[in-house]
Structure 1
Amino acid sequence: MALRVGVIGGGQLARMMIAPAVELGVELRVLAEEPGMAAALAATAVGDYHDVDTVLAFARDVDVITFDHEHVPQHVLTALEQDGAAVRPGSAALAVAQDKLVLRARMAELRVPQPEWAAVSDATELQRFIDEHGGRAVVKTPRGGYDGKGVRVVTAATEAADWFTALNEDARGGMLLVEELVQFRRELAQQVARRPSGETRVYPLAETVQRGGVCAEAIAPAPGATEQLVRAAADLGVLIAEALGVTGMLAVELFETGDGRILVNELAMRPHNSGHWSQDGAVTGQFEQHLRAVLDLPLGDTAATQPWAAMVNILGGPTEGSMDARIGPAMAGHPHAKIHTYGKAPRPGRKVGHVNVAGDDLDDVVYEARAAASVFLD
């Protein structure tokens, strides 16, 4: 009988696990939030991942539970574990990815380099932090933010007044996270795979480009990265994966400062946008690797297959016509490009697909990926 992996969440990350699952002979089952989502091809159930009974019923038909996102509540994760489900990553690890205040405190315990930060409960505390850090700071809601949501650069506490009001109206209370505004030269991402038995593998360090808080491009390996930087990022990724007990893929998002230091920005415990290049640029792509890892199968080789790989996101899509109508022209004009679409309706700022190109010339690879992605935009 085939091994059965249950994925909670029907988005594009679950969708991109389908092909490697077929190749590995793994039965993939998906609990989608609603019909017609990106992973509809593998959606065996539709339901609310906040509902314990719904999730427990789904989990009892699979060997392992994993995730398309990190939003499943802790009480649901705990109920799964108490029911005997193999939850990977587990509730303790996901707690760190789900709450940025927990993340910062845990990284501090591990003595991991990160931006200066504080938990603030009112405008006075926030203003004090801003004043002590050069008059500007980054404020974040601890939970629920992604792709630039729940993040603001502020010069005065009044710019977060609505968030404090929402905290005061919430019976549970709460705090905001404030961080120093890091003067970084670029952003990097380190992907690590870890299986329950402890085996780890690291991918080549990637450089990422963010636009409007959304990952727009990734290049691997990170151009100009020194051996020292590459080794430090890999060691940091493995340290975090092991200390937190991560199982599956871990993406460690990093700032590289002007003096060559790296600081941890955020973590994602699943396949991640910054690792999409590996689908067509590494021996083992991150989606296959995630399945291997959560099933505790031997991990695959993470080496790059070409000197360079570039990923460019298709953000928004065409304002007229469908994504499908653009696939043929994109293929014809850019035969070296690998095009991945998500089955989503175009919408401003929405991730509706991405393009990967791998080759031996960095400029050519980046140009081709950008040009192929542009075919889907007006």
Structure 2
Amino acid sequence: MNSRIGVIGGGQLARMMIPAAVNLGLDLSVLAETEGSSARLAATAVGDYHDAETVLRFAETVDVITFDHEHVPEMILRQLVAAGHLVQPGPDALRFAQDKLEMRRRLGELGIPMPDWAAVTTEDELQDFIDDHNGEAVIKTARGGYDGKGVRLVRAAAEAADWFRVLNEDGNGGALLAEERVDFRRELAQLIARRPSGPSALWPVVETVQKGGVCSEVFAPAPGTNPRVLELAARIATTIADELGVTGVMAVELFETTDDRLLVNELAMRPHNSGHWSIDGSVTSQFEQHLRAVLDLPLGDTGVRAPHTVMVNVLGGPTEGEIVDQYPHALADQPGVKVHTYGKSPRPGRKVGHVTAFGDDLDDVVFRARAAAALLGSDL
């Protein structure tokens, strides 16, 4: 059996795969971007994932390649496949997580519900879209955006002039994604894991709360959700995973509208912030499940361990010292909360860790999770 897993990217997602790999007796190696990365405990190589030779050399040391992020160039992914390396998820699936315009086009072909959208290449095209959508639009860069980066709400095309200028600097042109501004009740996420041989497993639908464009809190399962919405979320995620040939964990970020419709916002083909609650709140965490899936092993139970689990991100961290310096007070005050840190230095708005609380009473669980995050120096 293949048991050596290589992860490209040394961030917190790779870091959280390490305990799962240890428990399963798997060898996990990481190609990190820099020394001292979050996943430094497993970083067997440091190099640029934009360099094909570096990535191919790393791939020679493992049985299967997977990812901490979706930013490895498609050309390099295809070189890996051509050289006979197992890549999970593969480039044919990852391209739809790497390029939002490609994602919108493919989901449209599949009949997946989405916000109204258009690819716009000029300010005039964007202004026409704005005029047709109540005088405003959400614009996104097709590639590279995350945690609120590469996203703007605009009411005039001139507000995107700098983005169009950057797109055209190389002379090849390009397009932005323009979307209608959705009047939604809340944001949900449906996580799914799928094996290369086809079987998949779904976690409960969760509610996500964003502040400043960054995920702040996750409620699992999403409180008070209509059974029809749960069924629709599962069907959407399963259809996308099967039709796109996704392997490993995929998160489908969703808008729940005021009339109980679901619209797909974003896709992530890797473990995702909306699934961090599963480390402590699910029988099988998203990180263990991802490793199982990319190795085509039987998937684990995704049931919950408690009626309510709440995850709160620790954003920024303490203004002085490191997050571990806050442990004596935080751990004493909230002994029932699980703390996960990412090995990062504090910085305003930066994800430096998360806390998870669980129990029978939602209000109590929320209070304990927020209290622990605040004591650890979260700035939201």
Band the TM-score falls in, shorter-chain normalisation: over 0.9
Corresponding position: 1:206 with 2:221: no
Letter in structure 2 aligned against 1:279 = I
Alignment check: 8 A CA contact 1:93 1:245 kept: yes
Residue type of the partner of 2:3?
L
Q: Distance in 1 between matches of 2:7 and 2:171?
A: 32
Distance (Å, rounded) in 2 between the aligned partners of 1:116 and 1:7? 35
Name the structure 2 match of 1:148.
Answer: 148
- Alignment correspondent of 2:363: 363
Over 3 Å counting, the alpha-carbon distance change for 1:186 and 1:321 in structure 2 is same
The reply on whether 1:287 has 2:301 as its aligned counterpart is no
Deviates more, 1:325-334 or 1:205-214: 325-334
Aligned to 1:225: 225
Aligned ranges 1:154-165 → 2 under 5 Å: 154-165=154-165
Q: Please name the residue that 2:10 is paired with.
A: 10
* SS of residue in 1 equivalent to 2:249: strand
Kept in 2: contact 1:2–1:27 (CA 8 A): no
Contact 2:2 2:64 (C-alpha < 8 Å) held by counterparts:
no
**2:4 aligned partner, one-letter code:** R
Note the C-alpha offset of 1:328. 2.8
Residue deviations 1:1-23 (CA, integer Å, cap 9, x gap): 87100000000000000001000
Which whole-Å CA distance do the structure 2 matches of 1:267 and 1:160 have between them?
24
Measure, in 2, the Cα distance between the counterparts of 1:214 and 1:187. Answer: 12
SS in 2 for 1:16: helix
Output one character per residue of 1:331-363: Cα deviation in whole Å (capped at 9) or x when no partner.
111111000000000111100000011111111
* Deviation per residue, 1:267-312 (Å, 9 max, x gap): 0000000000000000000000000000100000000010010000
For 1:246 and 1:326, locate their aligned partners in 2 and report how far apart those are by CA, in whole Å.
Answer: 40
- Whole-angstrom CA distance in 1 between matches of 2:58 and 2:168: 36
SS in 1 for 2:209: strand
User: Matches of residues 179-194 of structure 1 in structure 2 within 5 Å?
Assistant: 179-194=179-194
The AA in structure 2 aligned to 1:99 is D
Aligned residue in 1 for 2:52: 52
The aligned residue for residue 166 of structure 2 is 166
Residue aligning to 2:216: 216
Query: Given the alignment of the two structures, is residue 89 of structure 1 paired with residue 89 of structure 2, yes or no?
Result: yes
Distance 2:288 2:193 in 1: 11
* Percent of residue pairs bearing the same amino acid type: 65
8 Å CA contact 1:145, 1:151 repeated in 2:
yes
2-side partners of 1:61 and 1:75: how far apart? Answer: 20
For the residue of structure 2 that corresponds to 1:192, the secondary structure is strand
Please give the secondary structure, in 2, of the residue aligned with 1:169. coil
- The offset of 1:321, in angstroms, is 1.3
My pick for the range that moved more, 113-122 or 169-178, is 169-178
1-structure distance, mates of 2:210, 2:283: 26
Residue 248 of structure 1 is matched in structure 2 by: 248
User: Could you tell me whether the CA contact under 8 Å between 2:97 and 2:268 is conserved in 1?
Assistant: yes
Q: In the alignment, what sits opposite 2:330?
A: 330
CA distance in 2, matches of 1:298, 1:171: 49
**Residue matched to 2:238:** 238
Aligned runs of 1:349-360 on 2, under 5 Å?
Answer: 349-360=349-360
Compare 93-102 and 168-177 and name the one that shifted more.
168-177
Contact residue 190 and residue 206 of structure 2 kept, 8 A: yes
2:6 and 2:31 in contact (8 A); partners too: yes
**What residue is the counterpart of 2:374 in the other structure?**
374
C-alpha distance in 2, partners of 1:59/1:328?
A: 42
Distance 2:270 2:2 in 1: 22
Tell me how large the CA RMSD over aligned residues is: 0.9
The corresponding residue for 1:302 is 302
- Where structure 1 has 5 or more consecutive residues not aligned to the other structure, the ranges are none
Q: Deviations over 1:197-227 (max 9, x none)?
A: 1010000000000011110000011011011
- Rounded to whole Å, the distance in 1 between the matches of 2:172 and 2:124 is 20
The superposition leaves residues 101-143 of structure 1 with CA deviations (integer Å, 9 ceiling, x where unpaired) of 0010011010000000000010100000000000011011100
SS in 2 for 1:318: coil
- Confirm or deny: 8 A CA contact 2:278 2:286 kept in the other structure: yes
Match of 2:19 in 1: 19
SS at match of 1:81: helix
Q: Secondary structure at the match of 1:77?
A: helix
For 1:132, the equivalent position in structure 2 comes to 132
CA contact (8 A) 2:316 2:351 kept: yes
Hey, what's the Cα distance between the residues in 2 that align with 1:335 and 1:295? 36
CA distance in 2, matches of 1:171, 1:40: 39
Question: What are the ranges of 5 or more consecutive residues in structure 2 without an aligned counterpart?
Answer: none
Contact 2:66 2:88 (C-alpha < 8 Å) held by counterparts = yes
Structure 1 contact 2–26 (Cα < 8 Å) conserved: no
Aligned residue in 2 for 1:107: 107
